[in-house]
Amino acid sequence: MKTAVLFGAGQAGAAVLRLLYGYEPLCFADNDEKKRGGEFCSLPVLSAAEALALGPDCVFICVTDAARAAQMRAQLDGLGCAAEVRDALSLRVFDARAAAARLLAERISARGVGGDAAELGVYRGEFAALINAALPERRLHLFDTFTGFDAADVAAERALGLSAAGTGDFSATARETVERRLPRPEQAVFHVGRFPESFAGCEGLRFCLVSIDADLYAPTAAALPLFYDRLSIGGAIIVHDAFGLQYPGAGRALEEFCAARGLTPVPAADIHGSAILVKQGG
């Protein structure tokens, strides 16, 4: 079997390691000295030079930023890298979460699973547009402050020792930005403000497909029971960052919810670390 070094011991590296097929991973390489000497995903973390000395057949550059990937490729050239070099930039384009959402939407439509679609954490509407296109006949409820992370949620995040989120992160958006992006904007219902307060008035709704992408512990923990209890049989919730490293609060909230309800989240195995919950009947 061919051997591989994964250059970049972060979220993209973890995703590439899980997706790797037909290669024996030897180690991670990383330019951050603080990561070196230890392990990441049960593999040693070495410098790029040390990793190349192992003679891998292939080096996978595990970042999703094109400029950084180019720098790392140049660094490998400078070290006289003889291995094939591949990057993970295509994971941004060929997105397992997008594919999973489209397949779930097809199934929901074909089976006549009832209810509206929704997203908590809309930002500029990239994923909301995908849901809107995949379920064009359904209402799409969009929940966001549209002023970025709320101070109370950030305080909770700090108190729990979770992410380094800052108040107002993701504020560079507006309702109009999202409206312009949606292929069927007439289906959108905007719930502007802090979740869960912005859920007021939605108690009587049913949902078929929900994306929870609020990054932080507090809104994710509040959203899971509110949406899951209103999810139709055969409906699904996609939780962003459930297996991610940057915002561990989303994963903690999902773990707690699943433990309390006896549920098992299914990994989407995407670069975002998403998980899927399908409401089962019976």
Ligand X SMILES: C[S@@+](CC[C@H](N)C(=O)[O-])C[C@H]1O[C@@H](n2cnc3c(N)ncnc32)[C@H](O)[C@@H]1O
Residue 125: CB minimum distance to ligand X, A: 7
Candidates 53, 87, 54, 50; CA nearest to 68 is 87
In Å, how far are 141, 150, 153, 156, 219 from 166, measured between CA atoms? Answer: 25, 9, 9, 11, 15
The reply on whether position 149 binds ligand X by CB under 6 A is yes
Question: Which window, 3-11, 87-95, 180-188, 208-216, contacts ligand X (CB under 6 A)?
Answer: 208-216
Question: Which window, 38-46, 77-85, 123-131, 181-189, contacts ligand X (CB under 6 A)?
Answer: 123-131
Question: How many Å apart are CA 60 and CA 6, to the nearest integer?
Answer: 5
Question: How many Å apart are CA 81 and CA 58, to the nearest integer?
Answer: 10
Residue 272: CB minimum distance to ligand X, A: 9
Token pair for residue 129? 């547009």
Question: Which window, 10-18, 98-106, 121-129, 274-282, contacts ligand X (CB under 6 A)?
Answer: 121-129
Question: How many Å apart are CA 219 and CA 199, to the nearest integer?
Answer: 11
Nearer to ligand X, 6 or 218 (CB): 218
Q: What angle do CA 121, 125, 127 make, to 5 degrees?
A: 80
Query: Can you tell me which of 219, 234, 248, 273 binds ligand X, judged by CB under 6 A?
Result: 219
The reply on whether position 127 binds ligand X by CB under 6 A is yes
Question: How many Å apart are CA 120 and CA 103, to the nearest integer?
Answer: 20
Question: How many Å apart are CA 231 and CA 236, to the nearest integer?
Answer: 7
Nearer to ligand X, 40 or 247 (CB): 247
The reply on whether position 60 binds ligand X by CB under 6 A is no
Nearer to ligand X, 69 or 178 (CB): 178
Nearer to ligand X, 170 or 227 (CB): 170
Q: Which residue ranges make up the site for ligand X (CB under 6 A)?
A: 121-124, 126-127, 143-145, 148-150, 153, 170, 194-195, 213-216, 219
